[in-house]
Amino acid sequence: MTDSRFGLDGWEGARYGRTMSRIQILSKEVANLIAAGEVVERPVSVVKELVENALDAGATSVTVDLQDGGTTRIQVSDNGCGMTADELALCVLPHATSKIGSADDLARIMTFGFRGEALPSIAAVSHVLITSKTPTSDSAACIRVDAGKMGAVEPCSAPDGTLILVEHLFQNVPARQKFLKSERTEYGHIFDLIQRVALANPQTRFVLRHQGKETLRANVTTELRGRVAELFSVNAAEQLLPFSEDSGGVRISGFAGRPILAKAGSPQTYLTVNGRVVKDRLLMHAVGEAYRTFLPRELYPFCVVQLELDPSLVDVNVHPAKAEVRFVQPQAMHQLVVHTLRAALQQASSDAMTLGNSTASASPVASYGNDSLTGPASPAGSWPDLRPPASSGETPLFNTEDMPALRPIGALARTYLLYEDPNGSLIAIDQHAAHERLGYLKLKERFAAADLQVQRLLIPAVVELSPRDHAMALESIELLGRCGMEVNDFGGNSVVIKSVPALLANTDPVTLLKRLLEDLAQSGTTTSMDVAIDHVLMTMACHRMVRAGDYLSGEEIVALADEVMATPTADRCPHGRPTWVRIPKSEIEKWFYRK
């Protein structure tokens, strides 16, 4: 078909050359298919709805059987309360549900399902057989629905609970069927879902089978750590840091994985809100913010976060798949997650960096190999201490009490400072990352003590910004001022910089401001003032510190090692990169086949 006005063929011509039809009411069949498209996106959508129905029914055992990644066959069976024959006839009708009864119930949703859309939507795009029996019924009942056409309820034989068989998904909707991915991909999504649901419900037994082979089993347990060990590995469970806090009627608990569990690729964050598995962007951002100074940006932490709060404080009816939620106080929730996780990580980092701590070798950053972090201090006089002595009556700059001296060896590529410890191990320190971390900690300490001194600029710096950055600068005047940088509007898209923190007196104020605005734009508007201040202090520290390639004197090399080793939380820079690593002597000897 060719459209004479546009010279377009095929569907493009039809699109631009058509005349508008009159408004009409869609048929029931088309309406059901549209509704099904919102609920049932792919096989994992079916499994999610059926497993959540089983949990709402009080099941303590749920089994999922798949064929071809769920595209040809999905069977979910449970030992829940079951349905009567009369309820079977209702459960496949649109908006038929036992979960809510009035509009008021939507404000306090306590169940996973509540819309009454799942079963009718699934039945509209597949062949469904539902078999169910209640403990008080003499016999079971079953009903078949083929592509939306409902059959009669018939008696049958089955144990207590419900079994739902879904076959030939999207067979009557070829447009949706062709967008399905490979069998392996679809199965991968279902496996991930069952892992997440099992993690959120340790009191329930889960079994997953694919092509007749059992691929996942999670037995009933009372401990979340035990469920992690069963689903992932015992080693993973041993690297978890527990956390728990009650704040303002909200309880947050779970496990923060140590950095050694971090991986590139897809996120490993497992979130639940009142037992509901979610992939909420606000909470994901909060977890990332908590790990920001512990992991490089390209790595994702392993983390389990479980939130429990009054149902009236969270709206779960904001997403077709109920994967996202909306909190009444989003910033408070974001801040709670950030602070709770960060406290657990900082405590673990402090413990791991303490000299002589037996758990220090668990840190992937502080060690290379299996030797302990540090050995006993060498006998007096056996090590040349190259640290410059403090002048009479002067307090030493660094706290080196009870610390074994590190013997400087040299610098590699003017970036990595090399030392030998008393055990003959090699210590390598990234001079920029280490300086950046130490400077960041000093800025935070002075900010918290309201002792962040300001350097007034002799000649205020006027800078022309883009409209976006100018708006961001005006919105951030209070924030920047609290961090020691006075910025005022100068008309048009310009601002004037009148002061900077004294620690950054030698930094170009224009470059610093542009970098700060860029980082604030990336951090988003959901972050609290505390988190935004942290971003600013991080950026300031990065601009103040020694760069890779800068020359350091012998005294500076010694002093840097002293300060790094004396600071419990100096093992990573503010962006999560390691500041130093240790290669044991035993590992080096293996390279040369000496052991």
Whole-number CA gyration radius for the chain: 31
Contact 271, 277 (CB under 8 A): yes
- Three-class SS state of 574: coil
**233/227 Cα distance (integer angstroms):** 9
- Please count the residues of the chain: 595
CA 239 to chain centre: 17
- Kindly provide the b/e burial profile for residues 337-369, where b requires at least 16 CB atoms within 10 angstroms of the residue's own CB: bbbbbbebbeebbeebbebebeebbbbebbbbe
Mean pLDDT score, 257-263 = 89
**430/188 Cα distance (integer angstroms):** 39
Contact 166, 46 (CB under 8 A): yes
Residue type, 81: C
**549/560 Cα distance (integer angstroms):** 15
CA 24 to chain centre: 46
**113/104 Cα distance (integer angstroms):** 16
Per-residue confidence band for 396, with pLDDT thresholds at 50, 70 and 90: very low
How much of the chain, in percent, has pLDDT values that exceed 90?
Answer: 36
pLDDT for res 308 = 95
- Three-class SS state of 364: coil
Say which residues have a Cβ less than 8 Å from residue 345's Cβ, sequence separation at least 6: 241, 256, 290, 291, 294
pLDDT for res 324 = 80
Which has more pLDDT, 119 or 532?
119
Per-residue confidence band for 564, with pLDDT thresholds at 50, 70 and 90: confident
Residue 381 has pLDDT above 80, yes or no: no
For the chain, how far is it from start to end, CA to CA, in angstroms?
79
Q: pLDDT for 161-190, tens place per residue?
A: 999 999 999 988 887 888 888 999 999 999
Q: Where are the alpha helices (DSSP H) in 92-182?
A: 118-124, 174-177
pLDDT for res 532 = 65
Token reading at 357: 């701590």
Residue 354 has pLDDT above 80, yes or no: no
Token reading at 443: 């800025």
Q: Which DSSP letter does residue 27 get? A: P
**313: how many CB neighbours lie within 10 A of its CB?**
16
Q: pLDDT for 115-166, tens place per residue?
A: 667 888 899 899 999 999 999 999 999 999 998 899 999 999 999 999 999 9
Q: Where are the alpha helices (DSSP H) in 427-528?
A: 431-448, 467-475, 477-482, 509-523
Report angle CA 439, 442, 443 to the nearest 5 degrees: 85
Mean pLDDT score, 71-80 = 96
Residue at token pair 């103040």: 544
Handedness of CA 406, 409, 412, 414 (dihedral sign): positive
pLDDT for res 534 = 74
**521/449 Cα distance (integer angstroms):** 27
Domains in the chain (CATH in brackets) are 28-218 (3.30.565.10), 239-352 (3.30.230.10), 363-390+402-595 (3.30.1370.100)
